[in-house]
C-alpha cells in the first residue's frame, strides 16, 4: 500500500531558471527550458582592469570584513558601492552557488550583466615594494 498525502512527505522545489507551471486540464507539470528565456549564468570576474569598476558586497565574507574588502578594491582603483546602486561586479561568499544558497539582489544584478567575484578568488593585498 502506497502512502497517501497525509502519510507522505512532500518537497517543494522552486524552478527559478526556467518558466514552469501546472496544466489543470492535463493534470501535469510543464516547463519551458528554451535558452532564450533563461537568465544569465553567473560569470566570474576575471583578472581584468579594476579601474573605476563598481563592486558590491551584499553579504559578510568569511575572510574579509567590509572595510578590508573596500581597501583591497580601492587599492586596485575600483569602487565599492552600497545596496541599491548599480554594480558591475558582486563580491560573494564561496557558499553562494545560486542553487542551494541564493541572494536575490545579487541575482538581479547578474541578470543585468554584473560579474561575480567569489571570496576564494578575491586577491590579497598587493605586495608593497621596499
Domain ranges of the chain: 54-121
* Mean pLDDT confidence for 21-41: 76
Q: What 8-state DSSP symbol labels residue 116?
A: E
* Mean pLDDT confidence for 40-55: 79
**Could you tell me which residue, 41 or 24, shows the higher pLDDT?**
24
Is residue 126 over pLDDT 80? no
Q: How confident is the model at residue 11 (pLDDT cuts 50, 70, 90)?
A: very low
Q: What is the pLDDT of residues 50-105, one digit of tens each?
A: 889 999 998 888 888 888 889 988 988 999 998 888 889 999 888 887 776 777 88
Q: What is the pLDDT of residues 1-10, one digit of tens each?
A: 454 455 444 4
**Whole-angstrom Cα distance, residue 21 to residue 126?**
50
Number of neighbouring beta carbons within 10 Å of residue 49:
10
* Mean pLDDT confidence for 16-38: 76
Strand partners, 31: 20
**Whole-angstrom Cα distance, residue 91 to residue 77?**
16
- Is CATH 3.40.50.10190 correct for 54-121? yes
Residue with cell 561586479: 89
Amino acid at each position: 500500500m502506497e502512502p497517501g498525502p497525509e502519510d507522505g512527505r512532500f518537497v517543494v522545489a522552486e524552478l527559478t531558471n526556467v518558466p514552469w507551471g501546472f496544466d489543470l486540464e492535463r493534470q501535469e507539470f510543464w516547463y519551458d527550458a528554451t535558452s532564450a528565456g533563461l537568465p544569465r549564468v553567473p560569470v566570474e570576474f576575471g583578472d581584468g582592469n579594476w579601474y573605476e569598476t563598481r563592486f558590491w558586497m551584499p553579504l559578510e565574507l568569511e575572510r574579509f570584513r567590509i572595510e578590508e574588502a573596500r581597501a583591497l578594491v580601492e587599492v586596485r582603483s575600483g569602487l565599492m558601492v552600497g545596496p541599491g546602486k548599480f554594480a558591475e561586479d558582486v563580491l560573494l561568499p564561496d557558499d553562494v552557488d545560486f542553487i542551494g544558497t541564493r541572494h536575490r539582489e545579487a541575482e538581479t544584478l547578474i541578470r543585468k550583466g554584473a560579474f561575480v567575484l567569489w571570496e576564494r578568488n578575491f586577491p590579497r593585498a598587493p605586495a608593497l615594494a621596499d
